[in-house]
Amino acid sequence: MSYPIEIILNRQLAECLAIPVFITDTVGNLLFYNEPAEDILGKRYEDTGEMPVEVWGTIFKSKDESGKLLDPEELPLVKTLLNQLPYFKTFWIESLQGTTEKISVSSYPIIGRAGIFHGAVAIFWRQADE
């Protein structure tokens, strides 16, 4: 069974972009990430394929500016999946290798023409440290 074209078109756009893009289904399973996003995950889509939410959700830790772990419910993509609305937040991520990076994340729901919620997109913007 093929994905809805709204998901397919988001991937085809993501493949043309130089900014990191993650595409999930309605429960957060990672369906696709583009080449710039591979840098952030430290993994290649060609190697991993799709990833269940419980796997890719543990690849990096999300922290606030004081270094405190963020609750998942504070993260834009999680909020988008819960509420089917767009969100934005700047925070820090720590990879499994221990490197920390400041990022901003914009997320939006994929709601198709028939009004059906198909999934979500998260776009990561790398921020220079102030």
Partner 1 sequence: MKIALRGVRGSIPTFNPATQVYGGNTSCIEIEKHGWLLVLDAGSGITNLNFNESQRFQRIDILLTHLHMDHIQGLVFYEPFFDATKEVHIWGPVNPTQTLRARLGRYFAPPFSPVYFRDLTCDLHIHEIGNSSFQIGPFAIESRFVIHPGPTVGFRIHADNKVVTYIPDHEPALGRGPLHHNLKWVSGSELALDTDLLIHDGQYTRDEYKFKVGWGHSAMEDALEFASITGTKRLILTHHDPIHTDSNLDQCYKNLKITTHYSFPYEMAVEGTVIEM
Does the footprint of partner 1 cover residue 27 (CB under 8 A)? no
Q: Which of 65, 6, 61, 68 is nearest to 32 (CA)?
A: 6
Q: How far is the CB of 3 from partner 1 (least distance, A)?
A: 6
Whichever of 51 and 78 has its CB closer to partner 1, that residue is 51
Q: How far is the CB of 94 from partner 1 (least distance, A)?
A: 32
Count of all residues that appear for the chain in the document: 130
Does the footprint of partner 1 cover residue 18 (CB under 8 A)? no
- d(CA 101, CA 50) in angstroms, rounded, equals 24
Tokens representing residue 75 in the block: 């993260």
Q: One symbol per residue from 80 to 119: x for binding partner 1 (CB under 8 A), - otherwise; what is it?
A: --------------------------------xxxxx---
Position of tokens 């988001």? 10
- d(CA 54, CA 59) in angstroms, rounded, equals 9
7 to 2, 36, 65: CA distances (angstroms): 10, 18, 33
Whichever of 18 and 114 has its CB closer to partner 1, that residue is 114
Judged by the rule CB under 8 A, the positions of this chain that interact with partner 1 are: 1-6, 8-9, 11-13, 15-16, 112-116
